[in-house]
Structure 1
Amino acid sequence: MKTNQRMAVAFIGAAALVATAGAPAYAAVPTDTAELREAVTVDGVMDHLAALQDIADANDGTRASGTPGYDASVDYVAGLLEDAGYEVTVQEFLFNSFRELSDPVFERVSPDPMAYVAGEDFFTAEYSGSGDVTAELQAVDLVLPPGPEAGSSTSGCEPEDFADFVEGNIALVQRGTCDFSVKAQNAFDAGAVGVIIFNEGQEGRTDTLNPTLGDQFSADLPVVGTSFEIGDELAGLLEEGPVTIHLATDTLIELDVPTANVIAETPTGRDDRVVMAGAHLDSVPDGAGINDNGSGSAALLEIALQMAELGIEPRNTVRFAWWGAEEAGLVGSQTYVDSLDKRATKDISLYLNFDMVASPNFARFVYDGDGSAFGSTGPNGSGGIERLFTDYFASQGLVSEPTAFDGRSDYDAFITAGIPAGGLFTGAEDAKTAEQVAWYGGLATFEGEPVSYDPCYHQACDSLDPVGDGADAELYAALDAAYGGALEGNINTIALDEMSDAIAHAVLTYAMSTSAVNGTAKASPTAAERTADRLGSHFRR
């Protein structure tokens, strides 16, 4: 694996931001983050998003890993960071890329023929195989009506679920508990010729699924995602008699495609107390990925640049990361963690993840580090990260909610390696509730239909011109009105402003802390010696 490392140069007259405010329980050193938060502006972040949109426009409308659009995104981010004085590494790796070659088909042949609409009623699962099949449908271990909480269904998660499956049928499985790829692989192993995965059915889990199987999925059969309504209707029809379905997908999976992560590290700070903050830089193949995840990437980039501009010298090394091939199944972040030896892994104090932080119909979600809401606890210290964010939002008079560590973003590799993790998220394909509208504004329904946090999630309209790229013009006008004109394309600037400030607060708080994330051991004398050797190198804008 080749790397391209560029060294930082000196900045004269830098002054660190050291605080005077009272110290919260999660940090031994009180840190005033106001100057950095003030420096990180919506306009600054939007400038980066405009650049990413321009890159997509110049490269067939996409910034997906393995494409020229992604390569140009890497050059843009790495170039700015290098100019600002960061130690920049472009970590190259290989992954398996995915794209659709023609429009998919999902039809109910009988009873009562029905042709479903691609992009509205269903989506081809990323990394679905190709196939054109007409066969009987068979339900697999469904939970209908759905359980009271998300994840109640284990449909298709165990090979035993397919004990009576008829080879040659199309499997109807329900979202919940396990990865989509597990459901699809179990169906393939049981002889299914196609798979339909429908949403689970609880409030917020009814919209049309746009599932990802990951770049290691290799079963050659069509897999699509659909809404709870359609899945529930098909299950009801199956109780009355046979249902025949026509599925067709035409996809291409290319093996060993080159792509890269961008890693940028501050030239000062304790090496055994590394604070990492990351966001994935790639889009899905269908669009520019301006909210997913241009928003997280641009916010993190502007924070890094403003830290350099302000001359902040962190006590702990800050390592920013922009991941490649996240949309292929979290490949870039896993590759990075796998490349670390035991010492380097231990030296990472915590990881902060920012994936979608400006959803047009947003909520303020904080990852549930202590497991109190969802039962899935992060490594020791993750609860402290959660409290940092919730306390920050409370200090600003803002409501926030927990969201589960469900394995859908780049924190997953770090958690698996035992590194404390946390972060922010503003919502994707799930529907917003009326209670959340009272907290955050926006819309729970429009013309009688539920509205998701991001109606353009994983679509071409996740851009700075969503209506021009296929979004519902009336819905986006209503969303913009609900937020007082705060939408700029598929970006909610209210969310972008609040989340950028919260990210800056967390990064700087941990950068200046003298204790571990869980409040235990101090840095080792050896680390202090290493840091002393590096103090002559600072930032330059």
Structure 2
Amino acid sequence: MAAVLLGAFTIATPAQAHSSNNPVKKLTKEVTLPGVLRHLVAFQGIAALNGGNRASGLPGYDRSADYVAALTRHAGYKVTRQPFSFTYCEDTGSSFRQLTPTPTTYVDQTDYDVLDCSGDGTATGQVVPVDVNLTPPRASSSGCEASDFGPDVVGKIAIMQRGSPPGVTCGFGLKVQNAQAAGAIGAIIFNQGNGTPEANPDRYGLFLGTLGGPVGIPAVSVSYETGAALVTAAQSSAVTMEISVDAISETRNTTNVIAESKWGDPNEVVMVGAHLDSEPDTAGINDNGTGSAGILEVALRMAKFKTKNKVRFAWWGAEESNLVGSTFYVANLPQAERDKIALYLNFDMIGSPNYTFGVYDGDDSAAEGSPAGPPGSAQIEDVFEAFFASRGEATDASDFTGRSDYGPFIAAGVGIPAGGLFTGAEVQKTAADVALWGGVAGAQYDPCYHDPCDSLTPERDGADAALYRQLRREYRLFGNVNTYALETNADAIATAVATFAYDTSTIPPRTPPAAARTAAAGAAQDAEGAWLD
């Protein structure tokens, strides 16, 4: 398969090595939209021949990795495949119903979502609220402690609220594990409802989450509105629910693909990464075919540039299983090798149909969520901000939540400066966003996020046809990809990679690992964010 695709998408490498005459502009000019789109066509073809997906642990991912490895090796990179094992989780079917007092059937991925790594089976029982707080501002640590659960939860379905106590890591997995240990037969986690629906839609709507590892009971997520209604009803009368999940949780093997340039100082490494895997039910053309294709085209066009610094490209496996590939890579690097990495650039979902131009907030200028990245992250952000300003484009400060593959690099005890781009996922676009970037207010940045319609044929694969007609009136789409956002971000990638490949003098000397804990503590504590993609 890789050989066929390699022949179909011939590499047009630069005619000669570039070492002067503004290599940043040269590389940015050579990286084109058609060049990036050819890789998306290849990824879609791979998915079509392998069960409709490119998920780690399945053949579609292996063929995607073959494709990337073959192209980069042919271009002259030193390519390695780093194997590792991970917990593969997939739900193949589910249902969620209220039996009494108001019979209701809920719709998957509209009214509820199965939490990744949910247990298999059917749970039917009375709903028991666990330490919930429906009074604004709705601070919640529901389910974070074993003491939150009383004997009344035994044989019942525990309903818990999203949220953690200040300064404490309390992810969805811990909540469900505590519920199971207390004797619950099923779990519902509803969104926290903190802030306001207008300013904080991600804390009110249905959220997509992962438990981070297998549990033994079926578990689903719902919106704040749905959860609060169930809690209120359960506080006055018995509410009986049924959760049914067909799930797979098992250990599987996969790989990272690493391609390193032949040129440059091996003691000053510029690292560039994107996750290559999709969810098991989708080709993952935007998430994260766009990021993978973008850095692949930059790598191919840059292959003959004689850079001052070593450039190392990485395509991560099992990101959708909680950043397993990038975490494994960083954890297995000796400290001396970590010290050689000057910075890390991450690109995840760079062509969302209803996009914003998000730049990771290295200096915490937005003063929201997690703190600033490790020293040097602000300087990386500056490069991206300057690029977008030169194009007359506004940008949005994307919080360093740790929910993509930069997380292990900025984590406590590592402290590698990082930056990158993100055009949005499940959050709804606001009227303020529309004023800056156009599009459709009230629709998700990516309406096909983690759905089968994240493909080159979204309407055929289940997308809202009316919404996509509206988006096509606003933008030019290539399947589930906004071509303007993708082309602009590909140029931004080329600009940043080339800039740092020749000059990292703006990046300050590395903080010793022990001191780096303070700089990165906020990102490490945001476990809920890290467990969402």
Q: Is the 8 A contact 2:416 2:510 kept in 1?
A: no
Give me the whole-angstrom Cα distance separating, in 2, the residues matched to 1:418 and 1:520: 8
Kindly state the Cα deviation for residue 146 of structure 1 after the two structures are TM-superposed: 5.6
**Which residue in 1 is equivalent to 2:108?**
118
Residue type at the aligned position of 1:292: D
Residue 355 (str. 1) matches residue 348 (str. 2): yes
**Which residue in 2 is equivalent to 1:330?**
323
| TM-score (normalised: structure 1) | 0.85
**Which residue in 2 is equivalent to 1:34?**
25
Residue 227 (str. 1) matches residue 214 (str. 2): no
Kindly state the Cα deviation for residue 246 of structure 1 after the two structures are TM-superposed: 0.6
Q: Is the 8 A contact 1:361 1:443 kept in 2?
A: yes
Structure with the bigger RCO (C-alpha within 8 Å, sep 6+) is 1
Residue 96 (str. 1) matches residue 87 (str. 2): yes
- After the TM superposition, which residues 237-386 of structure 1 pair with which residues of structure 2 at under 5 Å, given as runs? 237-255=233-251, 257-308=252-303, 311-372=304-365, 373=367, 374-386=369-381
Provide closer, same or farther for how the CA distance between residues 392 and 157 of structure 1 changes in structure 2, counting only shifts above 3 A.
Answer: farther
**Which residue in 1 is equivalent to 2:159?**
172
Residue 438 (str. 1) matches residue 435 (str. 2): yes
Kindly state the Cα deviation for residue 165 of structure 1 after the two structures are TM-superposed: 6.1
Percentage of identical aligned residues:
49
The count of corresponding residues between Structure 1 and Structure 2 is 484
Residue type at the aligned position of 1:393: F
RMSD: 2.2
Structure 2, unmatched stretches of 5+, are: 1-12, 165-169, 512-533
Query: Could you list the runs of 4 or more consecutive aligned residues of structure 1 that deviate by over 4 angstroms after TM superposition?
Result: 10-13
State the SS of the aligned residue for 2:400.
coil
State the SS of the aligned residue for 1:115.
strand
State the SS of the aligned residue for 1:240.
coil
Residue 68 (str. 1) matches residue 66 (str. 2): no
Q: Is the 8 A contact 1:195 1:224 kept in 2?
A: yes
Give me the whole-angstrom Cα distance separating, in 1, the residues matched to 2:232 and 2:371: 33
Provide closer, same or farther for how the CA distance between residues 457 and 36 of structure 1 changes in structure 2, counting only shifts above 3 A.
Answer: same
Superimposed CA distance per residue, residues 414-433 of structure 1 (whole angstroms, 9 cap, x where no aligned partner): 11222111211111111111
**Which residue in 2 is equivalent to 1:530?**
none
Residue type at the aligned position of 2:189: I
State the SS of the aligned residue for 1:327.
helix
Kindly state the Cα deviation for residue 303 of structure 1 after the two structures are TM-superposed: 0.7
**Which residue in 2 is equivalent to 1:409?**
404
Structure 1, unmatched stretches of 5+, are: 1-9, 20-31, 446-450, 522-541
Give me the whole-angstrom Cα distance separating, in 2, the residues matched to 1:49 and 1:167: 49
Provide closer, same or farther for how the CA distance between residues 356 and 105 of structure 1 changes in structure 2, counting only shifts above 3 A.
Answer: same
Kindly state the Cα deviation for residue 520 of structure 1 after the two structures are TM-superposed: 7.8
Superimposed CA distance per residue, residues 389-426 of structure 1 (whole angstroms, 9 cap, x where no aligned partner): 22322232211111222221111111122211121111
State the SS of the aligned residue for 2:487.
helix
**Match 1:424 to one of 421, 426, 433:** 421
Residue type at the aligned position of 1:492: N
**Match 1:55 to one of 43, 46, 58:** 46
Residue 185 (str. 1) matches residue 177 (str. 2): yes
Provide closer, same or farther for how the CA distance between residues 482 and 156 of structure 1 changes in structure 2, counting only shifts above 3 A.
Answer: farther
- After the TM superposition, which residues 128-167 of structure 1 pair with which residues of structure 2 at under 5 Å, given as runs? 128-144=118-134, 147=137, 153-162=140-149, 166-167=153-154
Which is worse superposed, 454-463 or 397-406?
Answer: 397-406
Q: Is the 8 A contact 2:370 2:401 kept in 1?
A: no
Q: Is the 8 A contact 1:132 1:246 kept in 2?
A: yes
Give me the whole-angstrom Cα distance separating, in 2, the residues matched to 1:12 and 1:105: 57
Provide closer, same or farther for how the CA distance between residues 155 and 377 of structure 1 changes in structure 2, counting only shifts above 3 A.
Answer: farther
Kindly state the Cα deviation for residue 302 of structure 1 after the two structures are TM-superposed: 0.6
